[in-house]
A and B are shown apart, each in its own frame.
Chain A
Amino acid sequence: MKNSAYIYKLLSEIPDPEIPVISIVELGVVREVSIAGDTSIEVKLTPTYSGCPAMKQMEDDVRKKLKEDGFEEIKLSIVYNPPWTTDWLSAEAKLKLQKYGIAPPEESTTDKSFLTGKHKSITCPRCKSKNTVMISQFGSTACKALYQCKDCLEAFDYFKCI
C-alpha cells in the first residue's frame, strides 16, 4: 500500500494556482492524508484565507492527481483548525517566493509587530534594498500586501504574516 510520504511527494507536483513556483504542500494547505486502501484516500486541505478563490482549483487539482495515480474513492475535506499561518512556509519556499519577485513574510506570527505597523522593513525582492514603503495593506491577492522599493522604484508584493 502507498504510504503518506508517497502521497505528499505526489501532491508536491501540484503548483499553487496563483504562485506557481511553490507547491500546495510547501504552501502548507495539505493538512492530512489518510490512506484507506490502494484505491481509497482522504485528504484534508485548509484555505490560506477564508475567501481564497484558488481553493476550488486546488481541490480539483488534487482530485485529478490522485485519480491519475489510481485512486478511485477520493474524499476531500476542508478543515479550518488550526488556521493556516505563514509560519508553515518552509525556508526553501520563502526563497522560491523571493526569486519569483514576492517578498516572503519576514516575521513569525508570534511576533505581533506586523499588526502594529512597527515591523522591520521589508526587503525588496529585486534589488535587496531595505528602503521600502508599504503602499497598501492589501495587494493583488488576499495573502499579499503591496510595497514599493524607494531605491529601484519597483512595486512588489509582500506575502503578509497571518
Chain B
Amino acid sequence: MTTQEALFKYTLRLGDCSIILAQRLCEWTSKGPFLEEDLALTNIALDIFGRGKSLLEYAARIEGKGRTEDTLAFFRSDRQFTNYLICEQENGDYAKTMIRQAMVDCFDLLLYSELTKSKDETLAGIAAKSVKEITYHKRHSFSWTDRFGNGTEESRTRAQKALNELWRFTGEFFEVEEADEILIKEGVAVDVKSFQNKWETELHALFEKANLTLPETVFMQTGGRKGIHTEHLAYLLAEMQALPRMYPDAKW
C-alpha cells in the first residue's frame, strides 16, 4: 500500500464515520424531546456533517480519480463504507442516542486533538476546527448521560440498556490496520492506542457518576472498516442516497 492509498483510506474512514453519524442524528429533526433539544441535536449533526464533507472532499482529492465528496457519499454501497459500526446503530430512544454520542464524542475529542499535530496540513486544519466543536458536543452528551443515569428509575433503566447494547461496538475505535501503521510512522495519522486508557478512564468516570455499570466483558463487534456492517447501514443509505440515485443529474 502506498502512502497515498493509505491516506485516502484513512481520510475516507474519518469522513464516513462523520457522514453516517450525522445522517443518523438528523433522523431526530423535528422529533426531539423538546424544541431546544431538537435544535441542539440538529446543530451537532450539522457540525459533524460539515466535518464529513471536508474529509470526503479531501479524500476525493487524494484519490485523484475525478470523484467528489458527493459521489463518495451518494454513489457507494454499504460494503464500500468504512465507518465504525457504532455510527450506524439506530437512534432508539433519547438515552440510547446520548450514550452513543457520549462514547463517540469522547473518542473524537481525543482523536481530533491529536490529529491537530498531524504532518498533513489539511487533516490538521480540519481537526483544529473540529476540536472546538466536539468540545461543545461532548459537554452536551456527557451532561445528558449524567441526567439520565441520575434521573428517574425509568431513565436510568433505559440508559443502562443502551450502554449494554452499545458497549460492544466500541472495540473498533482502537483497532489499527495497515493504513494506520503506514501513516502513524509518517506522523500523519493518530495512534489511537496512545489515548485508549484516557478514553476508558473518562468514560468509566462518567458512567460511575451517572450510576451506570459497564457490561461484563463482552465480545467486541468489528467489521466496519472492512465494509462489513450491521443490517442498519443499508437502510440508512437507502434513505440518504435515494434522491441522487434516482435523479443523478439533480443539482443543489
Contacts and interface: CB of A to CB of B under 8 A. Distances in A.
Contacts of B121: 81
Interface in A23-61: 47, 49-53
B47 interface: yes
Contacts of A85: 132
Given A47-B129, A142-B43, A136 B36 contact: yes
Given A115-B136, A137-B136, A162-B132, 9 more contacts: A47-B129, A50-B49, A50-B129, A51-B49, A51-B50, A81-B129, A136-B39, A137-B139, A142-B43
A28 to B, nearest CB: 14
A82 interface: yes
Contacts of A140: 39
B139 A136 contact: no
Interface of A: 47, 49-53, 79-85, 115, 117, 135-142, 146, 160, 162
B139 A50 contact: no
B129 to A, nearest CB: 4
Interface of B: 36-37, 39-41, 43-44, 46-51, 53-54, 121-122, 124-126, 128-130, 132-133, 135-136, 139-140
B36 A146 contact: yes
A47 B39 contact: no
19 contacts: A49-B46, A49-B47, A50-B51, A50-B126, A50-B129, A50-B130, A80-B126, A80-B129, A83-B132, A85-B132, A115-B135, A117-B139, A136-B36, A137-B40, A137-B136, A138-B136, A138-B140, A139-B43, A162-B132
Contacts of B132: 83, 85, 162
A81 B128 CA distance: 7
A47 B126 contact: no
Contact of A80 (B47, B125, B140): B125
Contacts of A82: 128
A117 B136 CA distance: 11
Contacts of B135: 115
Contact of A50 (B37, B40, B133, B140): B133
A47 B140 contact: no
User: Which of A51, A135, A162 has the most B CB atoms < 10 Å from its CB?
Assistant: A51
A82 B36 CA distance: 31
Nearest to A51: B50
Contacts of B136: 115, 137-138, 160, 162
A56 to B, nearest CB: 8
Contacts of A136: 36-37, 39-40
Contacts of B47: 49-51, 142
